[in-house]
Structure 1
Amino acid sequence: MRSNEMALAALLTGLLALPAAQARAEAPITAGEVMGNNCLTCHGSKGQGPGSMPSIRDFTEEGLVNKMTSFREGRDDDATVMDRHAAGYTDEQIRAIAAYIANLD
């Protein structure tokens, strides 16, 4: 087989394998995951609250929505910097973040 035939055979083999590889691929990243990962930067990779950082791991989805909304609206005395973080999120974004965080393994 000449080199260009070998290259074509390799390309076709790869293309035939593509649907199987795509079927095994992980689910696409959600907006909640992208935004929620910002939370995990401080609160730990699983929301466990390393060091003096509060844990967000055991919150329910609704509890996280309520807490973030409270921060955003300035109704939470524990706000520290969270009031500023939450201020930039819409209700829909807060719900997406809460869904992601509440379902971490």
Structure 2
Amino acid sequence: MTSKSKALDTSAPIYEADQDWVAGAKQIRQKLSDVCGAHHNRNVRVKTIDGHAYEGTVVGVDGCHLHLAVAPSAMDARFFGPFAANAILTLVLYELLVITLLI
């Protein structure tokens, strides 16, 4: 086998997740999905594992994502557009660190 044919071999994975991690991630994802689903239409503050914080209203949750209606700030206008009243921000469930209900 030449080096060129080795480079074209797509059958060997270059990364495979540890099965214990996979089981834990699925468990956390299900727990967060249940929590977020139980707080539909509630105002929350969400902090991600990367330190980003968002405030908004839970408008939906699917198996992997939290959908949060947020009011865009002046900084976000370049992303959401100047006429956006609310925008839907989609966050990955297993990247969430803290979810706090806002009164």
TM-score, length-scaled by structure 2: 0.28
Which of the pair has more CA radius of gyration? 1
Larger strand share, 1 or 2: 2
TM-score, length-scaled by structure 1: 0.28
